[in-house]
Chains A and B, each alone.
Chain A
């Protein structure tokens, strides 16, 4: 079974702190994603990566950056945490799909971040 592991289930940080959220997948997936989930807004894509050292902005990249130095690991970085970044963060991975399809996403358990 595919396993996507997020390093922290719960974090509490202070405004202005630098925050690292780590995600590791064990199925050699090329694609990795970071989403945030907020009530009433669904899942919104922050950043994604199709290959090592490759990254592309999603729909809400402001205030975030990412790092993908190894294929299995995709990190989300909040350079200076703010209260509006309090949220559930979900990491996902997928294989490149055949034409007309989109790869099924495998999600981690999520990291609930509270910024005070």
Chain B
């Protein structure tokens, strides 16, 4: 079946350090979305990438979609305490509009 894996599962960083989470799909994705879930909250949409090799930035966040459209990454520069939460990638598969979510990466910040 469809599988979307994320690594690492957990990441603890000092405030100000960078953070990266990686997402890998077992099959090609037509697009990929990223969501953030704050502790005790619900997932909130961050961004969608559609094109092969696409790179998008939102302030300190940089999102990449792999050339083969099977992997993606989210990089946060100079983390802040407001970045705490779990980051999920999610993607449909060709011919399938259901979103399959990754397992998530929980980011904690050490002040």
- B and A form one assembly: yes
The interface of chain A, by Cβ under 8 A from chain B, is 33, 35, 40-45, 48, 58-59, 90, 97, 100-110
Provide the residues of chain B in CB contact with A43, threshold 8 Å: 43, 88, 90, 101
| Distance A40 CA – B104 CA, assembled complex (angstroms) | 8
Contact residue among B2, B99, B103 (Cβ-Cβ distance under 8 Å from A40): B103
The 10 A-B pairs with the shortest beta carbon distances in the complex, nearest first, are A43-B101, A107-B42, A42-B103, A104-B45, A42-B101, A102-B92, A42-B104, A107-B43, A100-B50, A110-B42
Q: Which chain B residues numbered 73 to 111 have a C-beta less than 8 Å away from chain A?
A: 88, 90-92, 97-104
Q: Is B1 an interface residue (CB 8 A)?
A: yes
Q: Is the beta-carbon distance between A58 and B98 smaller than 8 angstroms?
A: yes
| Distance A102 CA – B98 CA, assembled complex (angstroms) | 9
Most B C-beta atoms less than 10 A away, residue of A35, A43, A44, A97: A43
Chain B interfacial residues counted at CB < 8 A: 28
DSSP majority for the A interface?
Answer: loop
How many pairs of A and B residues are in contact by the CB < 8 Å rule? Answer: 61
Closest residue on chain B to residue A48 by CB atoms = B98
Provide a sorted-by-A list of 23 A–B residue pairs whose CB atoms are within 8 angstroms: A40-B103, A42-B6, A42-B101, A42-B103, A42-B104, A43-B88, A43-B90, A44-B101, A45-B98, A45-B99, A59-B1, A59-B2, A100-B30, A100-B31, A101-B31, A102-B97, A102-B99, A104-B33, A104-B45, A104-B48, A105-B33, A105-B99, A108-B42
